[in-house]
Structure 1
Amino acid sequence: MSEQTLPQFLLKQAREHPRDIAMREKEMGIWKQWTWQQYLNEVRDLANGLAALGFEAGDKLAIISDNRPQVYWTMVAVQALRGMPVPLYQNSMSHQLEYVVDHSDAVMVMAENQEQVDKVVDIQDKLPKMRKIIYDDPKGMRHYDDGILIPFIDVQAAGRQYAQEHPNYFDEQIAAGAADAVALMGYTSGTTGAPKGAMLSHTNLISAVQGMMEVEPYYRTDETLAYLPPAWVGDTFWSLAASLITGCKVNCPEDPSTVQANIREIAPHFLVAPPAIWENLVSDIKVRMEDSSRLKRLIYNWLAPAGEEVARMRMEGREPEGWLKWKHKLADWMVFGALRDFMGFSRIRSAYTGGAPLGPEVFLFFRGLGINLKQVYGQTETGVTCVQRDDEVSMGTVGTPFPNVQMKLSDDGEVMVAGPTVFLGYYKNEEATADTIRDGWLYSGDAAFFDQASNHLVVIDRAKDVTSLANGTKFAPQFIENKLKFSPYIKEAVAYGQDRDYVATMINIDMDNVGKWAERQQVSYTTYTDLAQKPEVYDLIEEEVERVNSDLETSMQIRRYVVLHKELDADDEELTRTRKVRRGFVAEKYADIIAALFSEVDEVPVSTLITYQDSRQTTMETQIRFRSVDTAVTAQA
């Protein structure tokens, strides 16, 4: 178990490798870089500046920003002062920020730019404990004269002055840091209610990284891209803790819209992405193939299956021989290598997916392209705890626990975790802490089993979501939803069937891909709502539903579906900021639609309140159609 803190690792990197590149950021088309010594200097100036503003041990500082070097400097600076950083989702609305900033008792907020500053200023009267708003980008801020505001560079300038008067303060604070102190307050996604503030110690984060390093080492020469929300604990794991401990280089994108281009420039050695990103990549590739020349489509359709066939064989411990071996080499030369380059994966050693189950079709697709995609498992309260080993990858599992993690199942099949990665508890919520940690074991809320052949963990769904149909058949919604989302035309799906006679789904179409399909088919439309309710689109989606049904047992097949008139949206609180469906909220909001799915009606009128990111609201009224899949397809053997 580590007895060090993350700021102490920063001191070590700067002392032993002062001139090595630690971090880059692309700005105005140019990659700017910082060495470990410069990284330390930025953190020192900021920490001293915060101290000059009155920030003390135990204080909390909230951060709302895209992935910028300043985010990670701020986190380490706060940790150095024995405070607690509280990263927030950068696309949160004001009322969501208000809850977290207020609940965490944050005394300061670091906001990236005018957009984020405006959100905080709008609610400052409701945040009596907040003393300062530190902003990084001054664009558009010239006429802001509120005394609560202070530029990031001014805080650092104050820090340099403070250091002249207190030359040993920064080093003394780091030396006084305790490994068991809170290093991060990460708020849960809030799928079932208000987010909870999970307190993770330095030991928790460092032990998780060290556990990963025992089975999958990272190197000083490795590159990765920090592009996932800083509020997600996985970003702290890979973009902060892993970098400080191993010395690997972290690159920050120019803008969220340039992430894919920046990945191609960097060609990272390892990268993590949630299932939604992998699903979107599959959709992009499939649509590009459809839009390509007839010759390219023929070559792709002929060679691509060889990749998936070889991937299956290798997961079974076999190697291709004869014609398949040579066809696979040809496919890699003509197709797969170009696709890897297109995605920026020419140097990728390990790619990870986590945060939610990834459909087996998507997983096999990338393995077939020669990308070493692996499932990881963890949660806010533990960080990453499981990963598939390179020589033990199999579909549907998340691998085995790290050597320093204990894991078992409760009598009800719930995953239980113990070890140095388990968090300290929920901030100001002793009841939830006591319910989650019992007798030294963390109850994850995930239903799972251990595969008998490999002893790998197989996560089924959230335990509360695993239910039964009326006939007693076990029903795991995410399994069906992931199969549907393998389609390039389906962006989101929500399956229902608890205590019902059959399974039914609500579906969101992928506007971009279905829109391109509609143009090719000469189907005219005006808006998302108009496109979603086109009979031709229902025919298209029915083909995708039948494809999924062909791979399901008869009792689990989808018998009825509806294409929703609007996209499920985090601004409407239908999704979390990590794009997980808030099932309880959605079930309540769309109760009439769900009831119609289990009736014989063909269409119903709907009226829905839409909330925009600037908090404006409008009401949408339309008719939506329901369709039954009349003939159940026999599941494939």
Structure 2
Amino acid sequence: MSTTLPRLLLDGASERAQGAAMREKEYGIWQTTTWSAMAEMVESMACGLYLAGLQRGEHLVVIGANRPRLYATMLAAQSLGAIPVPLYQDAVAAECVFPINNAEVRFCVVENQEQVDKMLEIRDQCPQLSNIYYDEPRGLRNYDQPGLSSLAALVEAGRSHSKAHPQLFLEQVDKGRPDDVAALFFTSGTTGNPKGVMHTHRSLINRAEAGKRFDRLSDSEEVLAYLPPAWIGQNIFSFAQWLVAGYVVNCPESSSTVTIDLKEVGPTYYFAPPRVFEGLLTSVMIRMEDAGAIKRGMFHRLMALARRVGPDLMDGKSIGFLDRLAYRLGDWLVYGPLRNNLGMSRVRVAYTAGEAIGPDLFTFYRSIGINLKQLYGSTETAVFVCLQPDNEARADTVGVPCEGVEIKLSESGEILVKSPGLLKGYYKNEAATAEVLTSDGWYHTSDAGFIDASGHLKIIDRVKDVGRIKGGAHDGAMFAPKYVENKLKFFSHIKEAVAYGDQRERVCVMVNIDFEAVGNWAERRNLPYAGYTDLAQKPEVYELIRDCVEKVNADLSRDALLAGSQISRFLVLHKELDADDGELTRTNKVRRGFIAEKYGVLVEALYGGKTEQFIETQVKFEDGRTGSVSATLQILDAKTFAPVKAAA
């Protein structure tokens, strides 16, 4: 492989000039950009940026949702040998300061007025930020700031320059090399400043091709691009793999129309974190609870059949004639309409990653005929490390090492990876690079796990988070907080959980309820509430959550390694954990240490034996204003179970 991402674009434009490359929904209508039109747009942008002074090796920030013009901007920068740096569009202005200064960014391309306002707000802290281009002009007519201009004007200037210098673009593309840095991804680390992960054209293309071959992807696939482009997963599925496979990428109109757009597009290749699959299932179950008795009874009866035989059908196993006939009837009455309602009637391959997915959730999708599988990877590995083959999808593993990947375990149980998709290094951070990359090419994932007898990788937790219970009946027992938290999140009523227990006698947990699911549950029981805080502290809700906690404890008691991780006490938080409040990363991972510090009074109350605790917390609203939420939180004990001994 000796090519680059811009070269792949030109190959696509040559092979399928009038074929659809991307679609974007505007004002309710899907607009198509062909491969040749995309190549022309990239050429004009590249020439415009060249005229504006963007240099080879320089960084260019891109902020916005999935939009063809923003993807074209990334390709235009790469065509000139510059390096695009996608940042999260929902990040507050202050979060953009470090990446922009760290990467010495002069050029920034943003989607709309909201992102322009952020850049203007931090300009005093980023004095080198000289050029800001915006795609959507709405609301910006009266803005008069130095260096602020529309992307349309840049494209027009570039188009004129390209006509005058027709060889310029191709000459610049031809200077690119596979081992040049192609993109810089800032990780949303749970502690300290984010690190800039450098990936080359070679590493991104290699992993995209490995995934393409594994799932036999072709240019006939349809993909919905709705996750943040700053996330490596979205960049692989809707950028690198798009260029490698040549399929169509569809960009939703807005975040609020994603569910509708999903049904309209009917993707064949789909990716979503477990949280999205949980949300889709929750909405289905809420609607079914509101359905009539006959319809509800039929649904539950046919779903019981699907859970029993559906996964075997997906795995190509033999089932009885009567079961097969009954399943076909169920597919006509329930499963087919349900897939269509979810927007997954055409899905051939669906992946989930980022967090563990609950067995019941995983089984539900596979039982109704959706080929949902798991993968394992990270920003540093360009996503594809392990993938699940079609007939070997299991909820408790993340698949087998994919093409070109080697895995071994350190003495501490940490997973080490060698792959063509590894990062080139962390930008301006040789010390951090040396911590994760060995001299002989092994990457320290910081995840603890093991390879099971069938060759599949199982993840236990982050190595640094795996602790030990100290004292009490389970002294010395392993404590894996993420494992416990994920088990709790398998319940539709629990949206988030934060577990503590390392170097303590017992495990205690803070819980976020799922406001929609619990709200619907409360309404069906005529239980009034005045908002999240009020609902969260209802005694009936506490009993609902206690039932979930005790079911998790019963399950943990059957695990010889983790029986000591059973939850002794819990509380329901008075507010939802939020990235804007620093409690979650931008990829919605819990910042456990930060939460322990912020809610130290609650941790003390949990371990101090208190039955209630007052707390007042400052919160940040979307418009930048701050306020506070206060409540007296109840703290309940949960039943724990004696470890179940394995049969001899």
Q: Is the TM-score greater than 0.5?
A: yes
Would you say the 8 A contact 2:413–2:448 is kept in 1? Answer: yes
Higher mean C-alpha displacement, 207-216 vs 2-11: 207-216
Query: What are the within-5 Å matches in structure 2 for residues 20-31 of structure 1?
Result: 20-31=19-30
Query: What are the within-5 Å matches in structure 2 for residues 557-568 of structure 1?
Result: 557-568=566-577
Secondary structure of 2:219's partner?
A: coil
C-alpha distance 50-604 of structure 1, shift in aligned 2 (>3 A):
same
Secondary structure of 1:305's partner?
A: helix
Q: Does the alignment pair 1:571 with 2:571?
A: no
Q: Does the alignment pair 1:601 with 2:610?
A: yes
Would you say the 8 A contact 1:284–1:488 is kept in 2? Answer: no
Q: Which residue of 2 aligns with 1:198?
A: 197
By relative contact order (CA 8 Å, sep 6+), the higher-ranking structure is 1
Would you say the 8 A contact 1:180–1:202 is kept in 2? Answer: yes
Secondary structure of 1:464's partner?
A: coil
- The whole-number CA distance in structure 2 between the counterparts of 1:559 and 1:322 is 48
How far residue 149 of structure 1 moved from its aligned partner, in angstroms, is 0.7
Letter in 1 for 2:360: E
Q: Which residue of 1 aligns with 2:287?
A: 288
- The whole-number CA distance in structure 1 between the counterparts of 2:387 and 2:216 is 12
RMSD between superposed Cα atoms in Å: 1.7
Would you say the 8 A contact 1:62–1:106 is kept in 2? Answer: yes
- The whole-number CA distance in structure 1 between the counterparts of 2:479 and 2:323 is 38
Alpha-carbon deviations, 1:217-253, whole Å to 9, x = none? 2111110011110000011101011111111000000
Q: Does the alignment pair 1:515 with 2:519?
A: yes
- The whole-number CA distance in structure 2 between the counterparts of 1:88 and 1:129 is 18
How far residue 556 of structure 1 moved from its aligned partner, in angstroms, is 3.1
Q: Does the alignment pair 1:33 with 2:32?
A: yes
Would you say the 8 A contact 1:361–1:483 is kept in 2? Answer: no
How far residue 634 of structure 1 moved from its aligned partner, in angstroms, is 7.9
Secondary structure of 1:183's partner?
A: strand
Query: What are the within-5 Å matches in structure 2 for residues 68-217 of structure 1?
Result: 68-217=67-216
Alpha-carbon deviations, 1:399-438, whole Å to 9, x = none? 1122212222222111111131111000010000011101
Secondary structure of 1:551's partner?
A: helix
Q: Which residue of 2 aligns with 1:256?
A: 255
Q: Which residue of 2 aligns with 1:410?
A: 410
Letter in 2 for 1:450: I
Q: 1:556 aligns with which of 527, 546, 565?
A: 565
Q: Which residue of 1 aligns with 2:428?
A: 428
How far residue 267 of structure 1 moved from its aligned partner, in angstroms, is 0.6
How far residue 109 of structure 1 moved from its aligned partner, in angstroms, is 1.0
- The whole-number CA distance in structure 2 between the counterparts of 1:69 and 1:377 is 28
Q: Which residue of 2 aligns with 1:494?
A: 498
* Number of equivalent positions: 635
Alpha-carbon deviations, 1:474-515, whole Å to 9, x = none? 222222222221222111111222122332211101112212
C-alpha distance 219-636 of structure 1, shift in aligned 2 (>3 A):
farther
- The whole-number CA distance in structure 1 between the counterparts of 2:329 and 2:645 is 30
Q: Which residue of 2 aligns with 1:621?
A: 630
Would you say the 8 A contact 2:554–2:640 is kept in 1? Answer: no
Q: Which residue of 2 aligns with 1:273?
A: 272
Alpha-carbon deviations, 1:574-608, whole Å to 9, x = none? 00111010111111111221222223211011121
How far residue 3 of structure 1 moved from its aligned partner, in angstroms, is 1.2
Would you say the 8 A contact 1:552–1:636 is kept in 2? Answer: no
TM superposition score normalised by structure 2: 0.95
- The whole-number CA distance in structure 2 between the counterparts of 1:600 and 1:571 is 31
- The whole-number CA distance in structure 2 between the counterparts of 1:75 and 1:443 is 29
Q: Which residue of 2 aligns with 1:504?
A: 508
Would you say the 8 A contact 1:62–1:110 is kept in 2? Answer: yes
Higher mean C-alpha displacement, 312-321 vs 375-384: 312-321
Letter in 2 for 1:200: H
How far residue 473 of structure 1 moved from its aligned partner, in angstroms, is 1.8
Would you say the 8 A contact 1:93–1:614 is kept in 2? Answer: no
Alpha-carbon deviations, 1:50-96, whole Å to 9, x = none? 11111110111111101111121011111101011000111000100
Q: 1:478 aligns with which of 478, 482, 486?
A: 482
TM superposition score normalised by structure 1: 0.97
- The whole-number CA distance in structure 2 between the counterparts of 1:545 and 1:274 is 23
C-alpha distance 36-315 of structure 1, shift in aligned 2 (>3 A):
closer
- The whole-number CA distance in structure 2 between the counterparts of 1:559 and 1:296 is 40
C-alpha distance 132-32 of structure 1, shift in aligned 2 (>3 A):
same
Secondary structure of 1:144's partner?
A: coil
How far residue 128 of structure 1 moved from its aligned partner, in angstroms, is 1.6
Structure 1 gaps of 5+ residues are: none
Secondary structure of 1:546's partner?
A: helix
- The whole-number CA distance in structure 1 between the counterparts of 2:393 and 2:137 is 48
Would you say the 8 A contact 2:499–2:507 is kept in 1? Answer: yes
